[in-house]
Amino acid sequence: MTRDAAAAHYALIDSLTCRGPETLTDFELLILMFGGVVPVADAADRALEYTQELGPPATMEALDQGELTFFRGIGEVKAAALVAGVELGRRSLRGVRRGERLASSADVYNTFWPSMLNERVEVFCCAMVDAKLRLINTTMISKGTLTASIVHPRESFRPALRHAASGVIFAHNHPSGDPVPSDEDRRITGRLEEVGRILGIPMLDHVIVGSEGAYYSFADAGDLEPQAAGYRGMVLR
């Protein structure tokens, strides 16, 4: 049985090598991942245990190191290796990187959705851009249900001031998957837009990230004061 399991594992490796990883099922890829941290003969059993205990392989986006250590043969070091691999894969999906132009709501969505995909609470982030809309940095402002008390303008604009940004774009997720803004989302957005105007750091957009490619852009919807020369492909003054 052990010899057969090992042979099956190496057959998967051959398939990946010859036909490419895209030809393998999620479960087969999960087997190969576990094969890197446990004996190959046990990899399929660990993969099966994972799906029975934690759900389908797609849930590895929210992989928890502590949970992995409960599986036989996986200690802290091996669990850390699995989590690191998943995190690197997630980061590779990010749309715009530092120094690249962040010029549309689609760019904003593609930059933030990998990190927000499996968040169970609302995460409020900002992206800072220079005068040519090149991304300076992104940072998380707060985590939890968005209210005016949690999303404080001073804290929200502090990173933009620190990085001498020419403009700022905010983004947060709706764990429900529905990106339609709530009344509170609209109140917070209006408040942030006003503060940005006072500080001279225009808020170019606020994007709500939903599920399966859905998002809401306050700028695209016409809910923000149009910037005379900014965002969606143009250059800030």
How confident is the prediction along the chain (237 residues), in pLDDT tens digits per residue? 467 777 888 888 888 888 877 787 878 888 888 888 888 888 888 888 888 887 776 666 666 777 778 888 888 877 787 777 776 666 665 666 778 888 899 999 999 988 887 788 899 999 999 999 999 999 999 988 766 557 888 889 999 999 999 999 999 999 999 999 999 999 999 999 999 999 999 999 999 999 888 999 999 999 998 764 456 544 443
C-alpha to C-alpha distance for 180 and 168, rounded to whole angstroms? 21
Q: What's the half-sphere exposure (Cβ side, CA atoms, 13 Å) at 44?
A: 15
139 membership: H or E segment, kind and range? strand 135-143
Are 138 and 94 spatial neighbours (Cβ–Cβ below 8 Å)? no
DSSP assignments along 24-90, one per residue: S-HHHHHHHHHHTTS-HHHHHHHHHHHHHHH-SGGGGGG--HHHHTTSTT--HHHHHHHHHHHHHHH
